[in-house]
Amino acid sequence: MVLVALAGMVVGYWANAAFFPGTSPQQPIDFSHKVHAGDNEIPCQYCHVQARRSVSAGVPSVNKCMGCHLEVATDRPQVRLLTNYWESGEPVPWIKVHDLPDFVHFTHKRHVAAGIECQTCHGAVESMDVVSREAPVKMGLCLACHRENEVEHGTDCWTCHK
Amino acid sequence: MSNVDRREFLKLVGAGGVGVGAGFMLAESAKHPLEHLIPYAVPPEEFSSGVATWYNSVCGMCPAGCGISVRTREGRAKKIEGNPSHPVSQGRLCALGQAGLQVLYNPDRLSSPLLLDGASGSFRPATWVEGVDKVAGALSSARNVVVLSRGIRGHLAQIFERFAGSLSSANLLQYDFAHEDALYVGNRESFGIDRLPYYDIANTRYLVSFGADYLNGWISPVHHSLGFGTSRQGGHDRGYFVQVEPRMSVSGASADRWVPANPGTEGLLALGIAQQIVAMGGYSGADRDAWTSTLAPYDIASVSQRTGVNDDIVRQIAEGFMHTRPGLAITGGAATRHVNGVNTAIAVNTLNYIAGNVGIEGGILFNPAAPLATTGEENRGAYESLANLVTHAENGSIDALLVYDTDPVFTMPADSGFREALEKIPFVASLSSFMDETTAMADVVLPSHTYLESWGDDVPEPGVGFSVGAVSQPVVAPLYNTQAVGDTLIAIAAHMGHSDAIPWASTEECIKDGWRQVHAQGGSGDFDAFWRSLLQAGVYGRNIRDTRAVSLDPTVVAGMDANEPTFSGNAATYPFTLHPYTSMRMHDGRGANLPWMLELPDAMTSVVYSSWVEINPVTAEELGVRQGDVVEISSEHGSVTAPVYVYPAIMPDVVAMPVGQGHSKLGRYAKNRGSNPLSIVAAQTDAKSGSLAWAATRVSVAPTGQRAKLVTMSGESRELGRNIVQTTGGAAGSAGHSAKLNSIPIKVEAV
Ligand code: SF4
């Protein structure tokens, strides 16, 4: 009976991971990276301006979005949602897709400066309507890349865990 | 499987189902919790997510006025450091200053206006409109109003003054428990100066401190600690430090010589040393003869007998002080909180004057006028003015009281009757940020921003020998529904129809306007550029010094023969002198609601989280008490209980208690923790300054039979042969070269 229960646990765990991966949460606005970064070829750092300057890439402020959307595609329902936020002066409560644990110190600035493509960690965002976590951003990925590029102190514990 | 019957089958299905469920939940719980990524709607100009922005401002945790640099990220203050260009703190900060973040983020901060609900006796949240309306209403019908606050420095003081001026009859009263009233009066009587001088500890070679714990909280601890370090290790002859006090403080422990003297006789000792210096020919002024006769009563035999300090020691200090140049004598703390506090201050000034330490580097330097038109010190009231307030409140002549950021219900002795008097005042409004003991008795609470959210400016006190002003600016947007105190006063005045009484629309404008005047007197460039660079620097100085020559007339000293300290309580019933002492951790009690300060071990006893009473080991044995025994400390005016801390460095007939804990209010961390020695001191004053003589109460100590676990960080304060505290002998070098050192050099130079 214990065996049956254990087997059940494995099935349950797998079912959760397979059908409810939680890697592409429902966002407050159905924003499509494919439309922006893919079809219209807007460079990543046009919106995520902080990536080259800061530890975090940052999400664009509402007024940045409105910079275009005061003029562009103003009649689309999802853009209307955005306009509502803007008019009420509220930020859009986006949900994080890519998130590292608090014990990992990661800085965008250094990686952008080293010429690492955004897609290396974030996947081919420009082809996704709904962004999901595709690349396995775990310690293995970091270490493999650090080793391959012979990063100085790249495999020291305190390089990332500090 | 043929033997699986129906019952067994159901069991298995059940177990499998539970397993699947458990597995599912396990996977669910292993998932990263949902986190948001919220941008600004419109980001501030200098904002960069993930990049820290630093702002210079002024520390508001004690009146020293250190400059701070606050690191903020995403609009939140993360860390406070010292502003390296501010001459008081020079990039350093004390622990209390660090804990400013815990004022800002304190869960017990008042987050909206409160109105007292008469029926239930408790507060209910209200809007600002309601609150201001209520206060304005009460003030318009009041005949006599008192505006009681902490010391307000800089241009904000002008808003207070104009607000009070707009009411028909209002008194401004500023009270800080730790304010050194006796020093101010002493300096005025000795030298005719109103501000504190600059005590140049950094450049002195011989410091005698009469009770001033300059390393742990006395008036400007960060600056004085820096000075101490420079004097000791600044690359010139090492300074020599003497500390005179009945109980060893942090400064006493750091001194070269600790001299226990009977409480309240510190001034006598200073005069005894001065007498010796004059007698040894160390004073050559024209009025030498007058000084000789003035100081004659303070001959070594009588001083030694009255102070309890061995005559050899008096002689040695006199010789050292006379021959080591420059020297400096300071006093403060419990020493100036006796009935002869001002006399002690004058005595120490005399010692400095006789030894030639006035107006020289490494001695006392006078502070020139500040660049700001106002310092705000003008409305300062000593304890006596609060005692007057009590009298007036009791005979019903005060109709309304406005209180801001001062907590006399906690710091005034129970004997003063302040609490009862407050109950008699028909209307009390508090503008404080926390529900302290005084605010808890208010009818309306209009909570103010903390210093990290407000505009202000400051003239550090004591100054640093040249002309300095500093600006404090908000480093974060207000966290709660609070208001800058100046803006609240402006709103109340406007609501009462006195909007022309205060010419500024906001505190920010008032401060800016003040600096326009500073700029007009010699700032460079246009004002906007000046203001920008001022805010960036956080501090503004002019190389102006006060080099006036002063003289001290012997008649000032001749007139103070009633030098003997007196104590409340007779020695038979109350055999011990209670020595309350303040520390940088708790200051006047404001540190008690900050967890960092509670868990920071006291520098001498290493006790955390509570109060204690320090008793000499001999006395403890006589009383039959051990460390951790709870004793009752009683004066004629009440009693408190505290666990015993057996402390070898205290005179046997003195018991010491730290000030700051024993709150009944002030939030979850402070409430009902420790005990407050101030509640049992006698309400007697030093007649010359009107300040409370809080170190002049006698007490008895009686075991209660209970024990308490004193949480200390050091298991045992004695060395027990472990050789963990290594010292050199008093006569340096006499141990010779044969002594074995256990130290390990970094490198040995080849000879
Ligand atoms: S000494 Fe006073 S002003 Fe200076 S850092 Fe400490 S609390 Fe702040």
Neighbours of B129 (CB within 10 A): 11
pLDDT band for position B219 (cuts 50, 70, 90): very high
Q: Cβ(B222) to ligand 1 under 6 A?
A: yes
- Please report the number of interchain residue pairs, chain A to chain B, with beta-carbon separation below 8 angstroms: 122
Q: List, in order, residues 6 or more apart from B736 with CB less than 8 Å away.
A: none
Question: Is A95 in Cβ contact with B37 (below 8 Å)?
Answer: yes
pLDDT for residue B738: 36
What is the H or E stretch that residue B145 is in?
strand B145-149
Residues of A with CB under 8 A from a CB of B: 1-2, 4-17, 20, 22, 25, 50, 53-56, 58-63, 85-86, 89-96, 99, 101, 108
pLDDT in tens, B284-294: 999 999 999 99
Residue B696 near residue B568 (C-beta atoms within 8 A): yes
pLDDT in tens, B75-115: 889 999 999 999 999 999 999 999 999 999 999 999 999 99
Interstrand relation of B638-646 and A94-95 (parallel, antiparallel or unpaired): unpaired
Residue with CA closest to ligand 1 atom 4: B66
Question: Is A1 in Cβ contact with B39 (below 8 Å)?
Answer: no
Interchain contact B40–A (C-beta under 8 A): yes
What is the distance in A from the centroid of ligand 1 to the CA of A67?
Answer: 46
pLDDT band for position B626 (cuts 50, 70, 90): very high
Question: Is A7 in Cβ contact with B16 (below 8 Å)?
Answer: yes
Q: What SS3 class is residue B184?
A: helix
Residue with CA closest to ligand 1 atom 2: B62
DSSP string computed for B194-207: -S--EE-GGG-SEE
Q: Cβ(B64) to ligand 1 under 6 A?
A: yes
Smallest Cβ–Cβ distance between A12 and the set B20, B35, B50 belongs to B20
pLDDT for residue A138: 87
pLDDT in tens, B369-412: 888 877 667 778 889 999 999 999 999 999 999 999 999 999 99
In angstroms, rounded to a whole number, what is the distance separating the alpha carbons of residues B487 and B494? 10
Which of B582-591, B618-627, B723-732 comes out lowest in average pLDDT?
B723-732
B11: which chain A residues are within 8 Å (Cβ-Cβ)? 1
Interchain contact B25–A (C-beta under 8 A): yes
Interchain contact B17–A (C-beta under 8 A): yes
pLDDT in tens, B692-705: 999 999 999 999 99
Q: With a cut of 60, say whether residue B560 has pLDDT above it.
A: yes
Smallest Cβ–Cβ distance between A54 and the set B25, B28, B49 belongs to B49
Domain assignment of residue A89, yes or no? no
Question: Is A11 in Cβ contact with B23 (below 8 Å)?
Answer: yes
Which of B12, B49, B51, B71 is the best mutation test for A, with the most CBs of A within 10 A? Answer: B49
Give the type of residue at A128: M
Mean pLDDT of B201-213: 97
Domain assignment of residue A87, yes or no? no
Question: Is A85 in Cβ contact with B41 (below 8 Å)?
Answer: yes
In ligand 1, the atom with minimum distance to the C-alpha of B98 is: 5
Which of A4, A65, A100 is the best mutation test for B, with the most CBs of B within 10 A? Answer: A4
More confident site: A135 or B462 = B462
pLDDT for residue B15: 79
Residue B363 near residue B352 (C-beta atoms within 8 A): yes
In angstroms, rounded to a whole number, what is the distance separating the alpha carbons of residues B411 and A35? 66
Give the gap in angstroms from C-alpha B476 to the nearest C-alpha of chain A: 19
Q: What SS3 class is residue B400?
A: strand
Question: How many folded domains does chain A comprise?
Answer: 1
In ligand 1, the atom with minimum distance to the C-alpha of B89 is: 4
Give the gap in angstroms from C-alpha B54 to the nearest C-alpha of chain A: 15
Neighbours of A123 (CB within 10 A): 18
Question: Is A94 in Cβ contact with B19 (below 8 Å)?
Answer: no
In angstroms, rounded to a whole number, what is the distance separating the alpha carbons of residues B372 and B457? 9
Question: Is A17 in Cβ contact with B49 (below 8 Å)?
Answer: no
Domain assignment of residue A5, yes or no? no
Question: Is A9 in Cβ contact with B26 (below 8 Å)?
Answer: yes
Which of B13, B20, B35 is the best mutation test for A, with the most CBs of A within 10 A? Answer: B20
pLDDT for residue B170: 82
Give the type of residue at B534: L
In angstroms, rounded to a whole number, what is the distance separating the alpha carbons of residues B222 and B516? 30
pLDDT for residue B741: 42
Neighbours of B93 (CB within 10 A): 21
A22: which chain B residues are within 8 Å (Cβ-Cβ)? 31-32
Which domain, by its residues, includes A125? 25-59+94-150
A51: which chain B residues are within 8 Å (Cβ-Cβ)? none
Mean pLDDT of B350-373: 94
Q: Cβ(B61) to ligand 1 under 6 A?
A: yes
Q: List, in order, residues 6 or more apart from B91 with CB less than 8 Å away.
A: B81, B82, B83, B84
Question: Is B23 in Cβ contact with A10 (below 8 Å)?
Answer: yes
Domain assignment of residue A146, yes or no? yes
> In sequence order, what E strands does B420-462 have?
427-430, 444-445, 456-458
Which of A19, A49, A56 is the best mutation test for B, with the most CBs of B within 10 A? Answer: A56
pLDDT for residue A147: 95
Give the gap in angstroms from C-alpha A37 to the nearest C-alpha of chain B: 19
Domain assignment of residue A20, yes or no? no
Best mutation site among B56, B57, B89 for ligand 1, i.e. most ligand atoms within 8 A of its Cβ? B89
What is the distance in A from the centroid of ligand 1 to the CA of B331?
Answer: 19
> Scanning every residue of chain B, which has its alpha carbon at the shortest distance from the alpha carbon of A83?
B41
Residue B613 near residue B577 (C-beta atoms within 8 A): no
What is the distance in A from the centroid of ligand 1 to the CA of B603?
Answer: 17
pLDDT for residue B728: 60
Question: Is B12 in Cβ contact with A8 (below 8 Å)?
Answer: no
Interchain contact B44–A (C-beta under 8 A): no
A99: which chain B residues are within 8 Å (Cβ-Cβ)? 32, 35
Q: Please, is B695 exposed, middle or buried when counting C-beta atoms within 10 Å of its C-beta (0-12, 13-18, 19+)?
A: buried
What ipTM, to 2 d.p.?
Answer: 0.80
Mean pLDDT of B630-637: 97
Domain assignment of residue A70, yes or no? no
Token pair listed for B699: 């007490």
In ligand 1, the atom with minimum distance to the C-alpha of B58 is: 3
pLDDT in tens, A81-95: 999 999 998 999 999
Residue with CA closest to ligand 1 atom 8: B97
Question: Is B27 in Cβ contact with A12 (below 8 Å)?
Answer: yes
Domain assignment of residue A2, yes or no? no
Q: Cβ(B59) to ligand 1 under 6 A?
A: yes
Residue B714 near residue B606 (C-beta atoms within 8 A): yes
Mean pLDDT of A44-54: 90
Question: Sign of dihedral through CA atoms B717, B719, B725, B730?
Answer: positive
Domain assignment of residue A137, yes or no? yes
What is the distance in A from the centroid of ligand 1 to the CA of B456?
Answer: 16
pLDDT band for position A26 (cuts 50, 70, 90): confident
In angstroms, rounded to a whole number, what is the distance separating the alpha carbons of residues B1 and B212? 90
